[in-house]
């Protein structure tokens, strides 16, 4: 017998709205997300009971059913867009009615955000809300001004490398940084992929990823497991030039790390290669250094802000030039900011 919830029951409505609110805030139809069993119970109810099981089946699609209790790896899910939209309309919900936990509401009210520090990054639950949804939710609570450091990763890594070797030639990578939209468009057209995929790919290459068709690769996942996309990218001259510059850049940046030697299988000894974790760690160190300067300046101006890795959302406007000059004066790095203002919705 197929279960059908009683939509006239206020208790059922509250449970469904709670689940819809969670899905609207934190999940996308085209992106996978780890969700623990405890998290599912918290937002969908006990899935051994009819309503909880029905909500999970209606709103979630299992993207990867592998989990490991010992290592903490959870199953991956994405949003069932068709069922989500149908239920969303049926209950008359709107984005402007999305609710946050009392703890997050208090943080937004006071501006005293709680972060957990991990790998040189400050993490807050609101950062996991998809960007477009987050923009509307924060704007409705007074945080209308949104800033991002343009091409933060390549910008900071290039400048760090030039400090170590002023004669380092990275013309292809620098041209990409200064002409990102144009280059992404060309690569996307030539390789038959999306511009957003090009952006993600190059940021991944900067931090040690490879263009590969290995099933476990995040790059391959970003390319929707399309083998033709991998082949096209590997043979694309523009991508090859950028990759070559990235390799040269890391050859110089390797000086920033302690030299480690390893023994090869044949008994030879060679320098240990930098891992993806090493590379991403250096970038996040630079990101944190610049971010600390910006947050101090915002606090001095009495502007509340939610920090989001290489950008922030704030309840007041600050001239981007003031921020850029303060960062350059304090750290020596030259950055450019892009910003926009969300209107109340």
Q: What is the pLDDT of residue 155?
A: 97
Token output for 149: 């450091």
Q: Nearest to residue 45, comparing CAs of 10, 11, 79? A: 11
- Which residues of the chain are under the pLDDT cut of 50? 345
Q: What is the pLDDT of residue 218?
A: 82
CA distances from 188 to 58, 229, 261 (A): 34, 10, 40
Token output for 36: 């623990």
This prediction's pTM: 0.80
281, HSE (Cβ side, Cα atoms, 13 Å): 10
Q: What are the φ and ψ backbone dihedral angles of 121, each rounded to 5 degrees?
A: -130, 145
Q: What share of the chain is helix, strand, coil (3-state, %, to 5)?
A: 55, 10, 35
Q: What is the pLDDT of residue 267?
A: 66
Number of Cβ within 10 Å of residue 19's Cβ equals: 24
> Contact 136/144 with Cβ under 8 angstroms?
no
In this structure, what DSSP letter does residue 68 have?
A: B
Q: What is the pLDDT of residue 94?
A: 66
Q: What are the φ and ψ backbone dihedral angles of 157, each rounded to 5 degrees?
A: -70, -40
Residue 41, Cβ density class (10 Å: 0-12 exposed, 13-18 middle, ≥19 buried): middle
Q: Give me the residue spans of the domains in the chain.
A: 1-93, 154-274
Q: What is the pLDDT of residue 95?
A: 59
Cα angle 277, 209, 246 (rounded to 5 degrees) comes to 95
**Using N-to-C axis directions, what is the helix angle for 227-234 and 180-191, rounded to 10°?**
120
Condensed to tens digits (0 to 9), the pLDDT of residues 150-179 reads 999 999 999 999 999 999 999 999 999 999
Q: How far, in Å, CA of 204 to CA of 309, rounded?
A: 16
Token output for 56: 């999970």
Q: What is the pLDDT of residue 131?
A: 80
> Contact 41/51 with Cβ under 8 angstroms?
no
Could you tell me which CATH class the domain 1-93 is placed in?
mainly alpha
């Amino acid at each position: 017998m197929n279960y059908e919830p009683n939509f006239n029951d206020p208790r059922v409505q509250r449970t469904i709205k709670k689940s819809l609110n969670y899905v609207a805030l934190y999940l996308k139809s085209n992106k996978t997300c780890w969700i623990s069993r405890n998290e599912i119970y918290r937002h969908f109810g006990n899935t051994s009971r009819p309503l909880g099981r029905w909500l999970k089946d209606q709103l979630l699609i299992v993207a990867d059913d592998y989990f490991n209790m010992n290592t903490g790896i959870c199953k991956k899910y994405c949003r069932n867009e068709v069922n989500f939209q149908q239920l969303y309309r049926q209950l008359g919900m709107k984005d402007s009615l999305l609710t946050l936990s009392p703890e997050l509401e208090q943080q937004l009210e006071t501006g005293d955000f709680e972060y957990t520090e991990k790998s040189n990054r400050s993490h807050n639950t609101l950062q996991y809300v998809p960007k477009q949804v987050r923009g509307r939710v924060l704007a409705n609570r007074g945080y209308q001004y949104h800033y991002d450091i343009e091409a933060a990763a390549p910008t900071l890594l290039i400048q760090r490398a030039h400090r170590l070797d002023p004669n380092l030639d990275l013309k292809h990578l620098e041209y990409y940084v200064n002409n990102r939209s144009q280059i992404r468009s060309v690569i996307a057209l030539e390789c038959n992929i999306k511009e957003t995929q090009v952006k993600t790919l190059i940021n991944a290459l900067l931090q040690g990823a490879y263009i590969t068709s290995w099933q476990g690769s995040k790059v391959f996942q970003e390319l929707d497991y399309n083998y033709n996309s991998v082949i096209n990218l590997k043979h694309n001259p523009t991508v090859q030039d950028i990759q070559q510059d990235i390799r040269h850049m890391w050859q110089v940046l390797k000086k920033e790390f302690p030299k480690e030697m390893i023994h090869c299988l044949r008994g030879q000894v060679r320098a240990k290669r930098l891992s993806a974790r090493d590379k991403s760690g250096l970038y996040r160190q630079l990101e944190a250094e610049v971010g600390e300067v910006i947050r101090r300046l915002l606090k001095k101006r009495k502007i509340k802000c939610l920090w989001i890795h290489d950008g922030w959302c704030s309840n007041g406007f600050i001239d981007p030039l003031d921020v850029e000059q303060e960062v350059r004066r304090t750290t020596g790095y030259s950055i450019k900011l892009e910003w926009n203002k969300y209107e109340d919705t």
